[in-house]
Amino acid sequence: MSGYLPIAFTTKMKSLLGEEFDRFMSSYEDPRVYGIRINRLKLGAEEWKSISPMGGAVRPIPWASGGFYYEEGARPGKHPHYHAGLYYIQEPSAMAPVELLDVRPGHRVLDLCAAPGGKSTQIAAKLQGSGVLVSNDNARERTKALAKNIELAGVRNAVVLNEEPSALAPVFREWFDRILVDAPCSGEGMFRKDESMIAEWEKHSIERCSAMQRHILRDAAAMLAPGGVLVYSTCTFSPEENEAQIAELLAEYPDFEVRPVRHQYGWKPGHPEWAGEAGEGLAAEQSASLAGTVRLWPHHIEGEGHYAAVLTRKGATPAEERQYLEPPVLAEKDAGKRKKVKGNAGAALRAAEKKGGRETKDSGKLQRTGSPARQSGKGRQPEVVDAAAAWHAFAEQELSGGFAGTGSMLSFGSRIYLQPEGMPPLDGLHVVRAGWYVGEAGRNRFEPSQALAMGLRPSEAVRSLNFASDDPDIIRYLKGETLFVEAHNIKMEGNPAQPLKGYVLVCTDGYPVGWGKYTGDGMLKNELPVGWRWM
């Protein structure tokens, strides 16, 4: 493949690497490596290995908790466990930035350039359902995949936004404990993985990428709380997009400093001398600190090229000095729009919100504009649908007493979300998911979402049905077919007097893949959305 690399690229790399250049170039003839990361929101690595046919044929990725190398022919995307969200297929080097971010349960975390969602799901697993994850991407067409991957992973405490970083900074000023900036870049480190990146590199200049990164980093810096941690990462070798960006930030923000990364696993230090003009204005100590950033070179590790810098903001450590997720004081115009929904389904029903709002879209923005309505026919008065009451009725009937749907309930028209507590108002922002999307109210019923199914545990549903991952029926279900099942195979939770008819949480090897609806005559109607089916 090395013969297809742009001459401008190889000339530059030779000047940077010197005697290492030949070894670097030989890495392009090596076969690429493949990685998966186990979703620790749902299970541990050892448990996954015990139930997966891949379990005995994987090797651990040394820098990633729950990350494994697998052989190319394993095809993990063609297995029911993929549809259960038990793992995410991810390039091994791409797992490093989140490991460096040091996320802990309770943190407020921003993934600023998040699509397609691999790093967001990695962050969510580290939060373990506690705290807040805000996943943002400014490319509207990419947020669909971002939202789906978060829902597939069963994340309950995420908000998905589609905004420019400059629009987020005033809303979330000094709000986040952890921020990941996996910046858009020239992509030089991905040439071996994806040869189409070579053509993209020739279209998009390093100068253009550097300008974008500069603005993104400044907005991210404004949103980091004192004592917080920001990880900046790229998949490029370009010093202009790496060491130079960090040098400029340090020069402009004296309360930021580099937290040195331990250079292990074959990782190599950053190069202060590569910062160019950006590094000339730094104090000697600041310049030297750039060596504490890290470069992942493909000729030193089993993975593609990456760069990462860990930055801290001086001040108090939020994780030690403040209570998380206390709802902020809302402006008068926002008062009464949110009510907490805590505890099990019965408690949630008693806390039902009586107000709704119509979901409208203005350039992708969600707005509340009064009571929702459905036109029941020509000349008839519109029928008001109380989405909140419909959700609570569904939860009381179809979810068990063990369901813990904590959060602030928001209704956008007929749609219901459970939003992590303590979020500032998002009015005026382009909101893709205001929280955990649990479903939508119809005229006479509530339709639970696929996101709700993926975030539940089987014990939280009144009815569940489990298939082994090698059972042909689970493939039929994933392809959207109607199933016929014996009533005794449906497991009931909670009240034994509950009818067998109703929504059933369909699982494989004990992990949800979607909803079915049992009709009582042996037929299980398939409720898996078309976009989630096995193709």
Which residues are annotated as catalytic?
235
Kindly state the tokens that stand for 15.
């000047």
Cα separation, 535 vs 377, in Å, equals 38
491 C-beta neighbours (distance < 10 Å), count: 16
Cα separation, 207 vs 331, in Å, equals 42
Nearest to 20 by CA among 197, 271, 205, 309: 271
In three-state secondary structure terms, 332 is: helix
Kindly state the tokens that stand for 36.
């998966």
Angle at the Cα of 133 from the Cα atoms of 127 and 139, rounded to 5 degrees: 140
219 C-beta neighbours (distance < 10 Å), count: 19
Three-class SS string for 102-149? CCCCCCEEEECCCCCCHHHHHHHHHHCCCCEEEEECCCHHHHHHHHHH
Q: How big is the chain, counted in residues? A: 535
CB-CB contact of 453 with 514 (8 Å): yes
Angle at the Cα of 391 from the Cα atoms of 387 and 394, rounded to 5 degrees: 140
Kindly state the tokens that stand for 178.
């952890």
Cα separation, 94 vs 310, in Å, equals 15
CB-CB contact of 98 with 91 (8 Å): no
CB-CB contact of 259 with 293 (8 Å): no
The helix or strand, by DSSP H or E, that contains position 313, with its residue range, turns out to be: strand 306-313
CB-CB contact of 52 with 81 (8 Å): yes
Cα separation, 233 vs 94, in Å, equals 9
Please give the backbone phi and psi of residue 335, each rounded to the nearest 5 degrees, phi first: -65, 140
Residue 262 burial (CB < 10 Å; 0-12/13-18/19+)?
exposed
Residue 325 burial (CB < 10 Å; 0-12/13-18/19+)?
middle
Cα separation, 183 vs 240, in Å, equals 13
Kindly state the tokens that stand for 402.
């063990």
Cα separation, 85 vs 114, in Å, equals 18
Widest distance between CA atoms in the chain: 81
